[in-house]
Structure 1
Amino acid sequence: MTTGIDARLDRIGTDGSYVIVPMDHGITLGAVQGLKDIESTIDAVTRGGADAVLTQKGIAPRVHENKNDKGYIVHLNASTTIGPDEQDKRMTGTVEEAIRAGADAVSFHINVGSNYEPDQTAQLSKVTETATRFGIPVLAMAYARGPGVDSADPEALGHAVRLAEEVGADLVKTGYSGDADSFQHVVESTRLPVVIAGGSRGTDRETIEMVRGAMDGGGAGISMGRSIFQHEDPEAIATAVSGVVHDDLSVDDALAESGLALEV
C-alpha cells in the first residue's frame, strides 16, 4: 500500500472504520426517493456522520458543494433493474475519470458465483492495477451471488472478500451473514477492512442491529445506501449508524441519541 492510498483511505473513513453511503442507485433503480434532490440527501447524511458518499461519475458536480468536506468515491460499473440481467455489471467509468471528478477512491462491483464472475474479476484486477499507479484506494463490492449461491452463507461471503484481496483491493464490501459469530469468519478470511451492505430498507432497529452485529463480528463499518438515503430522516439514521461504528454505542443508545428510539 502506498502513502497516497493510506492518505485517501483516511479521507473516506475515521480511524480505520467507515460509514459510507452509496447513492449510485439512480443508474440501477432510477430517481427513487432520496435521489431526486440528491444534494439535500448528501448534505444530510454527511452532517449525520457519514465519512463518505459514493456516486457514479456524472453526479460529481452535485456532490462536492454538499458533502461537508467528507470523502467522495466514484463507482465504476453498473446495470439496471429493467435490463436483461442485473448481475451483468458493465464498466461506466475509469480510474482516470474518477480522479478528474475529484474522487478520493473508486469502487467496483463483482458478483462472485455468477456467470459474469470471470469477466468482472479480470476487470477488477485491471482497476486495482491502474488505481495503485495513481495512489487511489479501491473499494471492492464483492457479493456472493449466482446460481445456487446463498448470498448470506459465511463461507461464500468469505470467498468473495478473499477474492477482493487477492486481486488487489484496499477495502471490501459484502453482504451480512446474519449474526456476529458467522460474520467473524467472513472478516477473518481477509486482511482487508470489511464493511457490510444494507440491502433493501428494514426498520430502524433492524438496521442498527445489523450494524451492531457486523461490528461485534470484527467488521470495519458499513456501506449502506437505501437504508439511509431512503429514510424519512437521512441525517438521523446516519447519526445512529455512525454512533455504532465510530462510538461503539449499543443499539438502544444509538437509536436514542439519534432521536429514532420512538419508532413503532
Structure 2
Amino acid sequence: MTVGRDARLARLRTGDRYLMVPMDHGITLGAVRGLKNIESTIDAVTRGGADAVLTQKGIAPRVHPTKNDAGYVVHLNASTTIGPDENDKRLTGTVTEAVRAGADAVSFHINVGSDHEPDQLAQLAEVTADADRLGIPVLAMAYARGPGLDGDEPDALGHAVRLAEEVGADLVKTGYSGDADSFEHVVESTRLPVLIAGGSRGSDRETLEMVRGAVDGGAAGVSMGRSIFQHEDPEAITRAVSAVVHDDQRVETALEKAGLAVEC
C-alpha cells in the first residue's frame, strides 16, 4: 500500500469503521426523493456522522461545498431501471476523472455470477491497475447476482468479496446474509474490510438490526444509500447508524440517542 492510498483510506473512516452514504442512484432511479436537492441531503448525512459520501463524477460540484470535510468517493459505472438490463453496468468515468473531481477513492460495481460478470471483472481489474498507479483506493461493490443465484447466500457472498480482493480492491461492499453467524463466513472469505449494502428501505428498527447483525458478524461498516437518503430525517437516521457502527451501541440505544421512535 502506498502512503497516498493509506492517507486517502483514512479519510473514509473513523478508526477502523466505515459509514458511507452512496448517492449515485440518480442514474439508476432518476431524481428520486433525497436526490433532487442533493446538497441538503449531503449536508444532513455528514452532520449526522457519515464518514464519506459517494456519487457519480458529474455531481462533484454539488458535493464539495456541503460535505462538511467528509470523504468523497466517485463511482465509475452504472445502469438504469428503465434500460434493457439493470445488471449490465457500463463505465461512466475513469480514475483520472475521479481524481480531477476531488475524489479520495473510486468505486466499481460488479455482479458476480451474472451474464455481464466477464466484462465487469476485466473492467474492475483495469480500474484497480489505474488506481494503483495513482495511489487511489478502490471500493468494489461485489454482489452475487445472476441466474440461479441467491444473493443473500453466504457462500455466494463470500465468493464475491474474495473476487474483489483477488482483483486488487481495497474495500468491498456486498449484500447481507441475514444474520451475524452466517455473515462471519463472508467476512472470513477476505482480508479486505467488508461493508454491507442497505438495499431497499425498511423500518428504522429493521435497518439498525441489519447493521447490528453485520457488525456483530465482523463487518467493518456500511455503505447504505436509500435507507438513509430517502429517510424523513436523513441526519437522524445517520446518527442512529453511526451509533451502532462507530459507538457499538444496541439498536434501542441508537434509536433513542438519535431521537427516533423505538418501534416494538
Common topology (TM > 0.5): yes
Superposition deviation, residue 43 in structure 1: 0.1
Establish whether residue 258 from structure 1 lines up as the match of residue 258 from structure 2. Answer: yes
Residues 75-90 of structure 1 mapped to structure 2, 5 A cutoff: 75-90=75-90
Cα distance in 1 for residues equivalent to 2:149 and 2:155: 10
Q: 1:252 touches 1:261 (CA, 8 Å); kept in 2? A: no
Residues 12-91 of structure 1 mapped to structure 2, 5 A cutoff: 12-91=12-91
Kindly, what percent of the aligned residue pairs are identical? 80
1:220-247, Cα deviation, whole Å (9 max, x unpaired): 0000000000000000000000110000
What stretches of structure 1 move > 6 A for 4+ residues in a row? none
Superposition deviation, residue 261 in structure 1: 2.8
Cα distance in 1 for residues equivalent to 2:108 and 2:207: 24
Establish whether residue 172 from structure 1 lines up as the match of residue 172 from structure 2. Answer: yes
Superposition deviation, residue 263 in structure 1: 4.8
Give the aligned residue type for 1:204.
D
Superposition deviation, residue 5 in structure 1: 1.0
- Could you say if the C-alpha distance between residues 129 and 159 of structure 1 is closer, same or farther in structure 2, counting changes exceeding 3 Å? same
Partner SS state of residue 27, structure 2: helix
Q: Name the counterpart of 1:242.
A: 242
Structure 2: state its 5+ residue gaps.
Answer: none
TM-score, length-normalised on structure 2? 0.99
Cα distance in 1 for residues equivalent to 2:146 and 2:9: 30
Cα distance in 1 for residues equivalent to 2:2 and 2:192: 15
Superposition deviation, residue 260 in structure 1: 0.8
Q: Name the counterpart of 2:160.
A: 160
Superposition deviation, residue 16 in structure 1: 1.6
1:85-140, Cα deviation, whole Å (9 max, x unpaired): 00000000000000000000000000000000010000000000000110000000
| Aligned alpha-carbon RMSD (Å) | 0.7
Give the aligned residue type for 1:68.
N
Residues 189-200 of structure 1 mapped to structure 2, 5 A cutoff: 189-200=189-200
Q: Name the counterpart of 1:217.
A: 217
TM-score, length-normalised on structure 1? 0.99
Cα distance in 2 for residues equivalent to 1:183 and 1:146: 20
Q: 1:95 touches 1:130 (CA, 8 Å); kept in 2? A: yes
Give the aligned residue type for 2:69.
D
Q: Name the counterpart of 2:145.
A: 145
Partner SS state of residue 53, structure 1: strand
Superposition deviation, residue 162 in structure 1: 0.1
Cα distance in 2 for residues equivalent to 1:166 and 1:76: 19
Cα distance in 2 for residues equivalent to 1:19 and 1:59: 20
Give the aligned residue type for 1:255.
L
Q: 2:8 touches 2:105 (CA, 8 Å); kept in 1? A: yes
Q: 1:149 touches 1:156 (CA, 8 Å); kept in 2? A: yes
